[in-house]
Structure 1
Amino acid sequence: MRRTPTRRLLAAALLVASVLAAPVMATSATATAATAAGTPTGVVHPLGIDPHDGHDHAPCSSNGLGHGVTARLDKAIADVRKQAAIPGVAVGLWMPGKGCYVRATGVADKVTRQPMSTDFYSRIGSETKTFTVTALLQLVDERRIGLDDPISRYVHGVPNGRHITLRHLAEMRSGLFPYSADADFAHDLLSDPTRSFTPRELLAYGFKHRNTAAPGKVFVYNNSNLVLLGLVIEKVTGHHVADVINRRVLRPAHLDQTLFPDGPNVREFPEPHAHGYTNQTLTGAVADSTDWNPSWAWSAGAMISTMHDLRSWAKTVATGELLSPETQKQRLKTLPTGFPGLTYGLGIFETGGWIGHNGSIPGYESVTVYLPALKATLVVLINTDITTGGQEPSTLLARAVTKIATPGHVYDGSAPTR
């Protein structure tokens, strides 16, 4: 008997949670994700030094934050991994003046038991939004577009498009219905996770529904918004959004291990990488989603990166290194989301003083955030998106780490999942 797909509602403070409609989960689903030995692997991770990017990439010793804090972090991560049945975890925390913590634990492959590593490529889901919106804001800086331009100026056929601005889209207040909440979309994707979708096909799933609210009134996390912004970038530049992001964002930021799979290489996933495990399937059974086609997430969530690059990107995006100060100021003008402890700006969020984004795509989750108050950076990469107790596993990890390392700045408010 096939289970009926229903939308996996996002956790309030996680925000991006799972972007696609999820099936009803079997009660034993999380128990099927294997847990591995709790001994950290990849304890020492040199990360390398890039003389061009202006970021500190000094090696991280095995006791970078002191024996006491390191031991507490090891235990907290092991506890969350066991609680949430996470196969593999990689965590990087850098705190200037105090030290760092860069470790991996668990397995990258539940069949071969290959250890997880801090060097792997990983799908980063909705962290893609930070790259897409950065490219958009560069066009604002060049006065080629305006944040208060209506989307109808660039893309035809958007319901109420004359009144929905680019700003509304970037801050998740467009009032459009999310395509990933459409039952037909969920069925079509999960029936064949290797199929390719075009941006227009994705938007059509949402556009057949009435808008959910007037523009600018209500925060609703919505992938349709970012697909539309990807189309705006293509319209204005005359180039594929993947090429624009590569040329205008990745290269200037010296992110050599970050990519936007698109076109004939849409299923490209560089080695080495962990296998990803999800229960977002038609039956609710856990599946290996490593090679699922990410075209359905496009400019909202298709990108791939590494801990090395995300460490650098966290500061770049939070401090606006690729944008003018005025545009960055607008980006960081975050507004309430309706969830305690969480505000959202233009393709970026703030929680507990941490600025950045997270991502979830079937089989993988990530968190990349920067804390200006302490100039600290946190990156979390895991190879499952299976929730536990209604909580995203990456949120549980980020919260546990920050409770120990930055108790005055804990990632994630206490708002419940809804």
Structure 2
Amino acid sequence: MEAGYGPGLFARVTQDGVEQVTAAAGAADLADSRPISPTDRFRIGSITKAFVATVVLQLVAEGRIAVEDPVGGWLPEYPLHPELTLGHLLALRSGLPCYTGALIGNPPDWRVLDRYHAPEDLVRLALTLDGHTPPGLAHRRSSTDYLLLGLVVEWVTGQRLDAQVWQRIIAPLQLRDTYFPTVDPTLRGRHAAGYVRCDGRYRPCPEVTPSQSWASGAMVSTPADLARFFDALLDGELLPPDQLAAMRAAVAIDDQHGYGYGLHRFRFDDGTVGFGHYGVAPGYESLVVRIDTGRTVVLYRNSFDKASPLPWNNLVMSAARG
């Protein structure tokens, strides 16, 4: 496997929900050289944000919350900027620093990922950090934003966030290989083993508590389930037109990228537009893009390589959308 794209790489392409092609290379587990397969589960990282944003916008459609609501009105126990709204959180424009670096420390203490972290504690940690800016000024990838959204969902519904995701999305779409872990670090069922690439070698990635990412990145899925979710979402099965339009109304980050409410917008060189999300989790990296032609591409590898991230406009993506 080419350096930076192993140990295993898997791609699935659908057109209007019908599988067109799958392709795999490399191993799901270096210990036994088992080939990576379409039924292997993996940690989807920040793709979780698209699920959570969908739940939030379903609550908006039901009239239970509004994107203009000040977050402090729902979560008064935190010292938040008075102009911070749910819309800012959905668009990753809160101005709040991300807690993850402070949680792990410098030098890193990976032992903190062996124990449970309540989302309330992680939010409080983020609020102690330097780097706050007024909400709405710029897009910034901060896991803190989606922790706050998860807490709002729980406050409004009186139920756990993972339960809301299950009953509103996973169960209706019959995503049988998708789940939202909150405590147990062990991947259930058939799955690809995760690795970290460092010093030119793939090293097994230790299992970590999903509580360290929760609403910002804890979910587990498969390529087939992710394609089904994004097809259903962008075909209007999960949200009314106004809320789906708000998800797609991405603010530009650069010439090729924008971010709406829980969705990345990707613009190819030929002007083709797609929507989806990146995902990075311990041991895994993934990408889903649903092109406006109805073609959906899911790509994942069972490794994390900080020096060589998976590019969105890669050869697989170019071939699949052709």
Question: How far does the alpha carbon of each residue in 1:45-68 deviate from its partner, in whole angstroms, 9 at most, with x for none?
Answer: xxxxxxxxxxxxxxxxxxxxxxxx
Counterparts of 1:329-344 in structure 2 under 5 Å? 329-337=245-253, 339-344=254-259
Counterparts of 1:236-251 in structure 2 under 5 Å? 236-251=156-171
The one-letter code sitting in structure 2 at the alignment partner of 1:316 is: A
Question: Is 1:184–1:205's contact at 8 Å kept on the other side of the alignment?
Answer: no
- RMSD across aligned positions (CA): 2.4
Structure 2 CA distance for aligned equivalents of residues 156 and 346 of structure 1: 23
Q: Which of 213, 220, 228 in structure 2 is aligned with 1:312? A: 228
How much has 1:144 moved relative to structure 2? 0.6
- Of stretches 290-299 and 354-363 in structure 1, the one that deviates more from structure 2 is 290-299
TM-score norm. by structure 2 comes to 0.91
From the two aligned structures, give the one with the greater strand fraction: 2
Question: How far does the alpha carbon of each residue in 1:347-387 deviate from its partner, in whole angstroms, 9 at most, with x for none?
Answer: 11110211111200110111122111x21010112100113
Match of residue 270 from structure 2:
none
Q: Which of 269, 278, 287 in structure 2 is aligned with 1:358? A: 278
Q: Which of 209, 212, 217 in structure 2 is aligned with 1:293? A: 209
Structure 1 CA distance for aligned equivalents of residues 134 and 231 of structure 2: 34
Q: Which of 374, 378, 397 in structure 1 is aligned with 2:297? A: 378
The one-letter code sitting in structure 1 at the alignment partner of 2:251 is: L
Match of residue 187 from structure 2:
269
Give the ranges of 4+ consecutive aligned residues of structure 1 lying more than 6 Å apart after TM superposition: none
How much has 1:248 moved relative to structure 2? 1.2
Counterparts of 1:4-403 in structure 2 under 5 Å? 35=1, 82-95=2-15, 100-182=20-102, 185=105, 190-263=110-183, 266-278=184-196, 287-289=203-205, 291-337=207-253, 339-352=254-267, 353-372=273-292, 374-388=293-307, 391-393=308-310, 395=311, 399-403=314-318
The one-letter code sitting in structure 1 at the alignment partner of 2:245 is: K
Structure 2 CA distance for aligned equivalents of residues 188 and 83 of structure 1: 25
TM-score norm. by structure 1 comes to 0.71
How much has 1:189 moved relative to structure 2? 5.8
Question: Which structure has the greater CA radius of gyration?
Answer: 1
How much has 1:182 moved relative to structure 2? 2.5
How much has 1:187 moved relative to structure 2? 5.8
How much has 1:118 moved relative to structure 2? 1.3
Structure 1 CA distance for aligned equivalents of residues 297 and 68 of structure 2: 33
The one-letter code sitting in structure 2 at the alignment partner of 1:350 is: R
Question: Is 1:189–1:195's contact at 8 Å kept on the other side of the alignment?
Answer: no
How much has 1:156 moved relative to structure 2? 2.9
Q: 1:183 to 1:99 in 2, by over 3 A?
A: closer
How much has 1:92 moved relative to structure 2? 0.5
How much has 1:127 moved relative to structure 2? 0.5
Question: How far does the alpha carbon of each residue in 1:303-358 deviate from its partner, in whole angstroms, 9 at most, with x for none?
Answer: 00111211211212223321111111112111012x33100000111102111112
Question: Is 2:93–2:138's contact at 8 Å kept on the other side of the alignment?
Answer: yes
Question: Is 2:95–2:136's contact at 8 Å kept on the other side of the alignment?
Answer: yes
Give secondary structure in 1 for the equivalent of 2:190. coil
Question: Is 2:274–2:289's contact at 8 Å kept on the other side of the alignment?
Answer: yes
Q: 1:376 to 1:270 in 2, by over 3 A?
A: same
- Of stretches 343-352 and 271-280 in structure 1, the one that deviates more from structure 2 is 271-280
Give secondary structure in 2 for the equivalent of 1:227. helix
Q: 1:404 to 1:275 in 2, by over 3 A?
A: same
Q: 1:231 to 1:277 in 2, by over 3 A?
A: same
Aligned residues: 317
Give secondary structure in 2 for the equivalent of 1:256. coil
Q: 1:258 to 1:87 in 2, by over 3 A?
A: same
Give secondary structure in 1 for the equivalent of 2:12. strand
Q: Structure 1 unaligned runs (5+)?
A: 1-34, 36-81, 408-418
Give secondary structure in 1 for the equivalent of 2:28. coil
Structure 1 CA distance for aligned equivalents of residues 18 and 104 of structure 2: 50
Structure 2 CA distance for aligned equivalents of residues 99 and 258 of structure 1: 18
Structure 1 CA distance for aligned equivalents of residues 245 and 39 of structure 2: 33
Give secondary structure in 1 for the equivalent of 2:304. coil
Question: Is 2:17–2:228's contact at 8 Å kept on the other side of the alignment?
Answer: no
Q: 1:156 to 1:188 in 2, by over 3 A?
A: farther
